[in-house]
Structure formats: C-alpha cells, structure tokens
C-alpha cells in the first residue's frame, strides 16, 4: 500500500466576498499562508472550508485552483463527500485526474442508512480511485451517519488503497477499537486526528492531524504536533490546553446549533489581519456583541502572542 | 477534607448472586477481598457492573456495610448512590456516611433527561446532605440523553461544594474531557477525574488520574501493568495494554455484565447469575469467552479462584 503519510495537515477556510461568491484572490493568500507556516499537507475543502455550502462546479474549480497555486510544494488531499454515492464518486475521480495526492470522504451526508449501505458508499468511492483513501468520522454532534468500528473494518477488507481514518468524533473507544482491530487487518493503518486534539489520538498511536486552528495559531499547532510525534504526551498537555481554550472560544461563539465554529473562525482570522469575509448562509455571521466577546477572549489569550499577524 | 490521592485502576466489584438470584453476601466479601489483595488502589460499589439498579435499597445498604467492613481501611471505599428516586439516593448517602464509607459517587436520578439546572440542584442537595467527599458520574449519551456534566456545570459545582473532589467520566471524548480537566484542575488541584471503564490511555496525558475498572474482574494484573506503564511513560507497553483491554471490553460490553460474570465463573470465582432483565451468560457464550481469553493470554497470566 501507499507510503503516503500526511503529517500536520492544515485545512484552509474558503473566503467569500460580500456577494457570497468565492474570493479567489484571498484564497491564494490563504494557501500561501498555510504553506509558509508549516503545513506538511493541505486538505480542502474540509468543514472549515464550508464544503457543504459549495456547488459541485465550485468544488471542482476550487480544487483545481488550489492545485495550481500550490504547484506540488505540499500534497493536497481532496475532500469528496456528498449525500449521493455517484456524485461523491465522480468528484473523487475528478480530484484524482486533477492531481490531488489523496482523497478523504465522509459517510453519506443526510441519510441514515444501515451500516452495510455506508460501507457500500465508501467502498464505491475508495475503489473508484487509485489514490490513498481516507475515511472521515464526523463530530458526534453532527447530523447524519457516523462510522462504527465494524464499518471501518469492512471498508478495510474491501478497499486495498484505504490508508487510514481521520477521526473527528474524538471518541476514545472508537479510536482504540480502530487501532487495535484495524491494525490486525492492515498493519500500517493510519489514525489521523480530525481536529486539533492531538494528544489523545497520538497516545493511541495516531500519526497525523487535520488542524483547522492552524489558520489562527500555526506555531502552537506545530509545537503540539511535534511533541506528540516525539511521544511527549505529558509535556504536550499545556499546549493542548491552550489549543483547547482557543477551540472553545471559537466554537461557542455565535448561534450555530452544531457549534461548528465557522463564524467564530472567520472573525478570529480577521482579527489576526487575515480577512476572509463571513460564512455562506445558512451559517450566520456573529452579531456585534458576540463578536466583541470573542475578540476580548482572544485578546486575553497570551499564548497567541507569538502567532503570525497578517498574510 | 481528607485527601485520598485517588489514582490507578480502581476496582468496582460485581455483585455475586446465589443460584436463586438472591444477594450472596459471603461471595461479595470474597470478591471485595480479592480485589484488594490484587492491588486495587480503591474499591467502588455498586456500579452498573454490579447491577446497581437491579438491587433493592436494603441490599445496597447491606453490600455497602460488607464492603466497608471487608476492606477495613486498607484502601478507600466509594459508595454509588445513584437511583431512580432522589429520596433513595439521599437515604443511601446518609447510610454510607454512618457506616464509615470514604466517599460517595452520585448522579442525578436516572431516565429524566434533566437540564443542567436540574442536575446542579440535585448534586447540591446530595452534596450538602453529607459530609463525605463526593464524586459525580458524568454520563452523556448522544443526542442530549443521559446526564452530562459540562465544564461549566463542573465549575459551578466546585464553587458551591467544598466536598466535591472528583468525577467519574464516561464521556470518552477528547474535547469534552479537556474542557472539564482544564477548568477543574485549575480550580481544585487534585480533582480526581476517573475514567469509567479503563479507556485511560487517551485521557491520562490530559490529567485523568485513573479509572473505575471493568476488566479488573478478569485481569487485575493487566490493569496494574497498564497503569504502571502510564506512570512510567512507557507508551508502547501502555498501547499494548490498552488495546488488549479494548478487545476485552468488546467481549464484555454487550449485555454488560452478563458475559463478565460468566467468564469470572470460568476462572474459579463463582459469582452466580445476572438478574433480569439482563440475561445470564449461556454455556456456549462462556465456552466462546474461554477461547478468546486464552487467545489474549489472559487465562494463562491472571489469577484463578479467590
């Protein structure tokens, strides 16, 4: 199987203009920022890139744009997820042809199919391409299907190019079971933290991370990642707590029922001199009071002092 | 407030029953003693593993007395007071204090989908009703069911209750755990965050002090080795132990604790059947468990008999 190891993966936001169209000039700056600030790879557009709010043509164009801008300096992992299996398969094929380094896919959005159907959905995407394939377990609070250990084991058995699981469920039991049972079937199966909670994942043998907060605090995320790669989990606790504090402030700002933090993330980016507009509807931007509260909290986070301002 | 320095894989004994399903007090004393002799740093009873909700209040008091008497101060004893009715919880809490238990584990009454305010009120009533140190049981389920102690609620309870010393955490979730640990440990250093079931490797580096054990009934040596490897920062050994325990948990979690009791009998500790509505493990199930435990090298390396 592939030896592709993504390392610390940054997951860029998608900037929008006032009229909600994609702001490609700013997107180029976003990508350059991540490459300059320690991304081993990029994955896009992940939930922080508002993949669900983009149309199919936009998703394809965005990926092509990113690949052209990045020019092979770091691998780009393309996110191909949708409610319908054939739509997701086509998008994955497009990403492969366009030059992505790997594919990552969610279980189908919206539907709550039986486990065997989730397996079928993921197997169809994974076997359609030759690239390393990652499956993504969404956060526990998200709406739709999540992965069970059994689903993962079935996908491993049927998809020879399955490289690993990106876990955003943050569920200790899932991570344990996938590592101990999955590695019996595929000894080099990778566990990738689907978020900036790298200590728990790393302690269980995880080797990579998809890091949304690298958009704000790339130095902190890099330092946390490096400590975990060196098995210094106890020493990593302080840094993990700092990242946790930042995560909490961003996710709890605003009215999103999912606490997805999209609006908070863009406000925080603006306050660091990297204006990326507001999220697309139906996500609401922050009101003035919420915005003020978040900015005040960010200003109180002394651990952010060393982080880069501007582009 | 006495400082117990809770740490390690703490054992939560099952409740031995006779063949007619009645409470086996003599067997229970042996069970508790077995755990203490095999290195348990604390004893906690009656958790779900002990069929807590299928015991009468009188049985729970009797068991608490046997536990305290058998342990005889060798290690701390925690008594779980969670019930369907808060009146019963208060009653068990009074009794536990009277007989010399060391601390209480509590949750707001079951099956109610309580709001955060209701949980707060409930814990404050129990916590101010006793002079004993109190642990709470954080048991969030998906979709807002269960009883969840958020970081904010934990903070308020630490502010309100000087005897609130720790939490049994069954959220098993990096973000939820970190929210609680980073707030609670700053406010009250030594606040004991104890994993319910030993999903401990992911939580220990973030400040968990130990676990209430599920697999200790079968594999106390493995539990002790696991905790030692964490203290020694020997992550390779810790992963081996955690993955082995994870495989054990997959064997036992279904209709917990029926399979566990079946396996214990096979290892020479006759703890009897499981009370309805939980099933009792069948002969075929026990035979299957025997092959699995042999493959995991548990039968060969763990104590048999009392």
Looking at CA atoms only, how far is residue A256 from chain B in angstroms? 16
Across chain A, what does the average pLDDT equal? Answer: 95
| Per-residue pLDDT, A243 | 97
Residue with tokens 């039968």: B299
Tell me the pairing of strands B8-11 and B134-140.
unpaired
Q: Which residue has the higher pLDDT, A25 or B141?
A: A25
> Is the model more confident about A307 or about A145?
A307
**Alpha carbon of A91 to those of A59, A96, A111, A119, A130: distances in Å?**
8, 9, 19, 18, 14
Give this complex's ipTM. Answer: 0.90
Q: With 0-12 CB in 10 A as exposed, 13-18 as middle and 19+ as buried, what is A121?
A: buried
Residues of A in contact with B235 (CB under 8 A): 203, 231, 233
User: What pTM did the predictor assign?
Assistant: 0.93
Measured distance CA(A248)–CA(B272) in Å, rounded: 47
- Interface size, chain A vs chain B, as Cβ–Cβ contacts under 8 Å: 89
By the 8 A CB rule, do B213 and B241 touch?
no
Q: CA-CA distance, B238 to B229, in Å (whole number)?
A: 5
Q: How far apart are CA B29 and CA B69, in angstroms?
A: 9
- What confidence category does residue A109 fall into, taking pLDDT thresholds of 50, 70 and 90? confident
Predicted confidence at residue B185, as pLDDT, reads 95
In chain A, residues 166-185 whose CB comes closer than 8 Å to chain B: 169-173, 175-177, 179-181
Question: In angstroms, how far apart are the furthest CA atoms of chain A?
Answer: 52
The one-character DSSP state at A226 is H
| Structure confidence at residue A3 (pLDDT) | 84
- Alpha carbon distance A23, A278 (integer Å): 11
Given a contact cutoff of 8 angstroms between Cβ atoms, the answer to whether B217 and B260 are in contact is yes
Calculate the CA B183 to chain-centre distance. 23
Do the Cβ atoms of B44 and B81 come closer than 8 Å?
no
Q: What CA–CA distance (Å, rounded) separates A108 from A85? A: 7
Res B114: pLDDT: 87
Nearest CA to B212 out of B83, B79, B63, B85 is that of: B79
In this structure, are strands A162-167 and B210-213 parallel, antiparallel, or unpaired? unpaired
Give pLDDT, residue A257: 64
Q: Mean pLDDT for chain B?
A: 94
Given a cut of 90, whether residue B5 has pLDDT beyond it is no
pLDDT confidence band for A94 (50 / 70 / 90) = very high
Distance CA A86, CA A98 (A): 18
Predicted pLDDT of residue B39: 94
pLDDT, position B109: 82
Q: How much of chain B exceeds pLDDT 70, in percent?
A: 98
Is residue A248 a contact partner of residue A210, using CB atoms and an 8 Å limit? no
> What pLDDT score was predicted for residue B198?
85
Residue B186 at interface with chain A, using a CB cutoff of 8 Å: no
Between CA B135 and CA B191 the distance in angstroms is: 9
pLDDT in tens, A204-244: 999 999 999 999 999 999 999 999 999 999 999 999 999 99
Interface mutation vs chain B, best among A139, A144, A173, most B CBs within 10 Å? A173
Residue A101 makes CB contacts below 8 A (sequence gap 6+) with: A4, A41, A75, A76, A77, A131, A132
Within 139-178 of B, beta carbons closer than 8 Å to A belong to 142, 172-178
Of how many residues is chain A composed?
311
**Among all chains, which residue has been given the structure tokens 């969404």?**
A138
Is any Cβ of chain B less than 8 angstroms from the Cβ of A140? yes
Chosen for mutation from A175, A176, A182, A194 (greatest number of chain B CBs closer than 10 Å) is A176
pLDDT in tens, A53-87: 999 999 999 999 999 999 999 999 999 999 999 99
Interface contact flag, A204 B242, Cβ < 8 Å: yes
> What span, in angstroms and rounded, lies between the C-alpha atoms of B71 and B136?
22
Pairing of strands A102-105, A133-137: parallel
| Contact between B158 and B123 (Cβ < 8 Å) | no
**pLDDT above 60: residue A1:** no
CA distances, A252 to each of A24, A258, A261, A277 (Å)? 28, 10, 7, 19
pLDDT band at A2 (very low <50, low <70, confident <90, very high): low
- Per-residue pLDDT, averaged over B146-157, amounts to 94
Q: Residues B214, B215, B217, B223: what is their CA dihedral angle, to the nearest 10 degrees?
A: -110
The helix/strand/coil state of A163 is strand
């Amino acid at each position: 199987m592939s030896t592709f190891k993504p390392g610390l993966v940054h997951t860029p936001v998608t900037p929008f203009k006032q009229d909600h169209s994609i702001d490609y000039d700013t997107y180029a700056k976003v990508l350059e920022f991540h490459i300059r600030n320690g991304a081993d790879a990029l994955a896009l557009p992940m939930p922080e890139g508002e993949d669900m709010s983009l149309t199919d043509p936009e998703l394809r164009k965005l990926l092509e744009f990113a690949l052209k801008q990045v020019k092979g300096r770091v691998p780009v992992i393309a996110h191909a997820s949708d409610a319908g299996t054939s739509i997701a398969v086509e998008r994955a094929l497009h990403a492969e042809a366009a030059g992505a380094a790997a594919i990552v896919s969610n279980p189908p959005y919206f539907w709550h199919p039986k486990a065997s159907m989730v397996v079928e959905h993921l197997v169809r995407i994974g076997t359609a391409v030759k690239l390393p394939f990652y499956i993504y377990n969404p956060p526990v609070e998200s709406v739709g299907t999540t992965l069970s250990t059994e689903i993962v084991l079935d996908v491993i058995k049927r998809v020879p190019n399955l490289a690993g699981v990106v876990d955003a469920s943050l569920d200790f039991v899932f991570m344990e079971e996938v590592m101990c049972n999955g590695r019996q079937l595929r000894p080099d199966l990778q566990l990738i933290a689907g978020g900036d909670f790298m200590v728990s994942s790393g302690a269980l043998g995880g080797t990579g991370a998809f890091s949304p907060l690298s958009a704000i605090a790339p130095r902190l995320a890099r330092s946390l990642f490096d400590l975990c790669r060196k098995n210094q989990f106890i020493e990593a606790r302080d840094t993990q707590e700092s990242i946790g504090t930042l995560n909490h402030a961003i996710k709890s700002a605003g009215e999103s029922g999912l606490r997805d933090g999209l609006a908070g993330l863009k406000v925080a980016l603006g306050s660091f001199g990297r204006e990326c507009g507001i999220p697309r509807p139906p996500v609401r931007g922050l009101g003035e009071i919420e915005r003020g509260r978040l900015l005040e909290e960010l200003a109180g986070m002394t651990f952010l002092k060393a982080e880069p301002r501007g582009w | 407030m006495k400082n117990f320095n809770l740490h390690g894989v703490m054992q939560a004994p099952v409740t031995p029953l006779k063949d007619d399903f009645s409470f086996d007090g003599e067997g229970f004393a042996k069970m508790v003693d077995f755990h203490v002799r095999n290195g348990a740093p604390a004893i906690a009873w009656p958790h779900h593993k002990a069929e807590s909700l299928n015991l009468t209040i009188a049985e729970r008091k009797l068991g608490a007395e046997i536990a305290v008497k058998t342990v005889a101060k060798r290690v701390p004893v925690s008594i779980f007071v969670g019930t369907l009715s808060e009146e019963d919880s208060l009653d068990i809490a009074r009794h536990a204090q009277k007989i010399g238990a060391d601390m209480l584990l509590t949750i707001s009454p079951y099956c109610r989908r309580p709001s955060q305010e209701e949980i707060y009120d409930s814990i404050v009533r129990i916590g101010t009703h006793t002079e004993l140190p109190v642990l709470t049981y954080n048991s969030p389920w998906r979709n807002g069911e269960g009883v969840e102690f958020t970081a904010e609620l934990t903070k308020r309870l630490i502010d309100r209750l000087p005897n609130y010393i720790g939490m049994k955490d069954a959220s098993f979730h990096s973000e939820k755990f970190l929210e609680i640990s980073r707030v609670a440990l700053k406010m009250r250093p030594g606040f004991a965050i104890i994993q319910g079931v030993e999903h401990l490797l992911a939580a220990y580096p973030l400040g968990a002090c130990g676990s209430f054990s599920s697999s200790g009934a079968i594999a106390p040596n493995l539990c002790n080795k696991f905790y030692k490897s964490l203290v020694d920062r020997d992550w390779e050994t810790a992963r081996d132990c955690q993955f082995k325990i994870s495989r054990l948990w997959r064997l036992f979690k279904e209709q917990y604790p029926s399979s566990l009791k079946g396996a214990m009998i096979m290892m020479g500790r006759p703890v009897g059947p499981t009370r309805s509505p939980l099933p009792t493990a069948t002969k075929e199930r026990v035979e299957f468990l025997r092959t699995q435990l042999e493959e995991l090298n548990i039968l060969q390396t763990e104590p048999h008999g009392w």
